Chain A
């Protein structure tokens, strides 16, 4: 009995040997720079209350709509209905195009069998555009229409992300946020591409007459058939509207919220609001990065869905 018991005690001692260290480590973790955590909380609270009593700076008028004004940077003549002046939207489109072209050339020139990190990231994006977006929703014509869907994805993605970098195209060349996709003209052009390509693809594959006849379900009774045909045409037009307005409204709403958060301290004239809301604006900014990626994804995948629907019509 005696040796067995001492063995048991030894075992117990061995198991609990690290306990003191663990307790000390936990106690240490609850301290930051030698002070316990709750004391830090009290200090932060005092600082915030103190900030509340410091009077804010001069009151400043805020015009969020001015962020989206398009003043021409370079005046050019108007030809017919087209004003050719270079506005900041045009500059943003150029920047996005340049980024895409440079990245594509750099990647295409240095493809290695053992990819570098950058090449690996780009390959993952390409795979997302090919397998995740195009091939996952289109039954046929994937390789024919991937160039359009992939180009739309990367173009919108880069445009949205460039829009989150402040660039000096504001009033008097101040830094300001803008995105080319926060302009309805740009998004309608992109949506028109999808609209035209959808019907072009459908007519080319099925023949124009068959393509339009397939909008009427075969089994339906006569009057209902025409009614469904009209509904289908309305829904085609609404696809165009929803595709463009979704992207436009998302980018405008995101940039407006960012502008409000940045300017909230000026509106409330309080340092407390400034400290709290600048923290909030960081969170909103991170959410906007997420939205930028998601909107590019949704635009591309809906384009692929519409193209797939036109190519393989239900009869």
Chain B
């Protein structure tokens, strides 16, 4: 396998595997938030705000993988 192929393979793997964890995490996070809203609709505003903070932090993990993929393709 030459270096170019390894680079592309690594980029694809990093994005694909890196998206698994945040995907599961986002599912759990939003599911729990919806559960909370369904139980207590009167605090839905607070829950939604905190949910978005959590989404931002969780999603960043997938985006690190994306950046690593970009670096592998264009820089490395």
A residues near B (Cβ < 8 Å) are 65, 132, 136-137, 242, 245-246, 248-250, 252-253, 294, 297-298, 301-302, 305
Contacts and interface: CB of A to CB of B under 8 A. Distances in A.
Interface in B23-76: 45-46, 49, 52-53, 55-57, 59-60, 63-64, 66-67, 70, 74
B53 A250 contact: no
A298 B67 contact: no
Contact of A136 (B49, B57, B60): B49
A249 B67 contact: yes
Contacts of B56: 246, 298, 301-302
28 contacts: A65-B74, A132-B45, A132-B49, A137-B53, A242-B57, A242-B60, A245-B60, A245-B64, A245-B67, A246-B56, A246-B60, A246-B63, A248-B67, A249-B64, A249-B66, A250-B63, A252-B70, A253-B66, A294-B55, A298-B52, A298-B55, A298-B56, A301-B49, A301-B52, A301-B56, A302-B53, A302-B57, A305-B53
A242 B57 CA distance: 8
Q: Give 3 closest A-B pairs by Cβ, nearest first.
A: A298-B56, A249-B63, A242-B60
Contacts of A137: 49, 53
Interface of B: 45-46, 49, 52-53, 55-57, 59-60, 63-64, 66-67, 70, 74
Nearest to B65: A249
B23 to A, nearest CB: 14
Nearest to A294: B52
Residue with the highest number of chain B CB atoms closer than 10 Å, among A249, A253, A305: A249
B66 to A, nearest CB: 5
A26 B55 CA distance: 43
Contacts of B45: 132, 136
A250 B55 CA distance: 13
Nearest to A184: B67
Contacts of A65: 74
A136 B46 contact: yes
Given A65-B74, A136-B46, A253 B55 contact: no
A294 B45 CA distance: 15
A301 B53 contact: yes
Nearest to B46: A136
Contacts of B60: 242, 245-246
A297 B52 contact: yes
Given A136-B49, A253-B63, A302-B53, 13 more contacts: A65-B74, A132-B45, A136-B45, A137-B49, A245-B64, A248-B67, A294-B52, A294-B55, A298-B52, A301-B49, A301-B52, A301-B56, A302-B57
A305 B53 CA distance: 9
Contacts of A245: 60, 63-64, 67
Contacts of B66: 249, 252-253
A295 to B, nearest CB: 8
